[in-house]
Amino acid sequence: MLSRLAESFYWIGRYLERAEATARLLAEHYHLTVEDRSVPEDIAAAVVLDALTLPHEIVHTPTELVRALLGDVSNPSTVIGSVGAARENARSVRDALSGDVFEALNGAYLTLTRGLTAAASPGASMYRVLERLMVVNGAIEWTMSRDEGHYFLSLGRSLERIDMTGRLLDVRHDLVWPDTGPVATLRAAAALSPFLRTGEAPTGEAVREFLVLDPTFPRSMLHSARAAESAVRGLQTLGGVDDGDLVRQVGLMRSRLEFAGGLEDSSAVDHLAHDTQLSGVGAAAAVAEAYFRQAGTIVWSH
């Protein structure tokens, strides 16, 4: 597979995951702030924007927050911007995608850019976005061969998921809304029922530990790190040019989570979450180094 194609697949994975995680966070956050008015609206908006490292000068109300995060094609940190960026990448690798994946992604983009109005019911709009993204992910899982393209897509998705789970934890729903916050965090990660089945009470601490260390929930950091490791090992098996640095970095990230065991207090979990998020950034740089920017190529100059 061409390096350029691989890079596009990787970014399709990242942007789709970013769009989905942002939309989930936004939908849940909107409901939370409508139902629980204990926190001033501008502060409620600011904690989300801070976690996503977006400027928050002009955002004061829940509706403004929805509008800002739904965004537009010019900002790839927003929902529409991410889907637009995923579609741009898909256009350039269209020959290597299954028709279903492209159509689903194109359809999602059209739904978002035409006639999706945040004003009427921001929550309903977000659910519509999520529904479309599920169709895209279904098409990816059911129609793409498990070759390099899928590995790169899945690697991008896993690394982005680690990052977005970290950001979700950074919102600190549990501190800002002590009563309703922990459940809101779970909902924003689509983790409410999986968590409740563990039998634990949804305290801030238990929720944070679940999202970092649960071995079976697909959005936990541990599960995402395992998925990332499996993708980089798969690439190596197929003859990828990775010299081992990428596998080492991702493997270390996964083992730190895997063998963390017996963490005494919640600050240890938070440290681990933060370190994992940074490892994810390091791994992303190693992916680019190994696969997207190969050294030793001839450059023409005149």
Q: Is 32 in the site for other proteins (CB under 8 A)?
A: no
Q: How far is the CB of 242 from other proteins (least distance, A)?
A: 9
Residue 193, CB-side half-sphere exposure with 13 Å CA sphere: 0
Residue 252 CA, distance from chain mean position = 20
Which has the closest alpha carbon to 129: 268, 262, 30, 243? 30
Cβ closer to other proteins: 63 or 106? Answer: 106
Cβ closer to other proteins: 81 or 122? Answer: 81
Q: Is 237 in the site for other proteins (CB under 8 A)?
A: no
Nearest 5°: the CA angle 145, 151, 154 is 105
Q: What is the number of residues in the chain?
A: 302
Q: How far is the CB of 175 from other proteins (least distance, A)?
A: 43
Q: How far is the CB of 99 from other proteins (least distance, A)?
A: 8
Q: How far is the CB of 105 from other proteins (least distance, A)?
A: 9
Q: Is 210 in the site for other proteins (CB under 8 A)?
A: no
Q: For 118-155, give one letter per residue: b (16+ CB within 10 A) or e.
A: beeebbebbebbbebbebbbebbeeebeeebbbbbbbb
Residue of 148, 174, 209, 229 that binds other proteins (CB under 8 A) = 148
Q: Which of residues 87-106 bind other proteins (CB under 8 A)?
A: 88, 91-96, 102-103, 106
With beta carbons less than 8 A apart as the criterion, state whether 24 and 52 touch: no
Calculate the alpha carbon distances from 64 to 54, 79, 91, 244, 256 in Å.
14, 14, 31, 46, 39
Which has the closest alpha carbon to 285: 247, 254, 244, 246? 246
Taking CB under 8 A as the binding criterion, the range among 130-138, 226-234, 252-260, 289-297 that sits at the site for other proteins is 289-297
Residue 89, CB-side half-sphere exposure with 13 Å CA sphere: 25
Q: Is 300 in the site for other proteins (CB under 8 A)?
A: yes
- Pull the structure tokens for residue 168: 């979700």
Q: Is 259 in the site for other proteins (CB under 8 A)?
A: no
Q: Is 147 in the site for other proteins (CB under 8 A)?
A: no
Q: Is 146 in the site for other proteins (CB under 8 A)?
A: no
- Radius of gyration over every alpha carbon of the chain, rounded to an integer in angstroms: 19
Q: Is 240 in the site for other proteins (CB under 8 A)?
A: yes
- Pull the structure tokens for residue 286: 């190693």
Q: How far is the CB of 125 from other proteins (least distance, A)?
A: 20
Q: How far is the CB of 185 from other proteins (least distance, A)?
A: 35
User: What is the sign of the dihedral through the CA atoms of 73, 76, 82 and 86?
Assistant: positive
Q: How far is the CB of 151 from other proteins (least distance, A)?
A: 9
Residue of 34, 175, 238, 281 that binds other proteins (CB under 8 A) = 238
With beta carbons less than 8 A apart as the criterion, state whether 46 and 189 touch: no
Cβ closer to other proteins: 11 or 102? Answer: 102
Which has the closest alpha carbon to 22: 91, 76, 58? 76
Q: Which of residues 164-183 bind other proteins (CB under 8 A)?
A: none
- Determine the size of the site formed for other proteins (CB under 8 A): 30
Residue of 241, 268, 278, 285 that binds other proteins (CB under 8 A) = 241
Q: How far is the CB of 259 from other proteins (least distance, A)?
A: 31
Binding site for other proteins (CB under 8 A): 1-4, 6, 88, 91-96, 102-103, 106-107, 110, 148, 152, 235, 238-241, 291, 294, 297-298, 300, 302
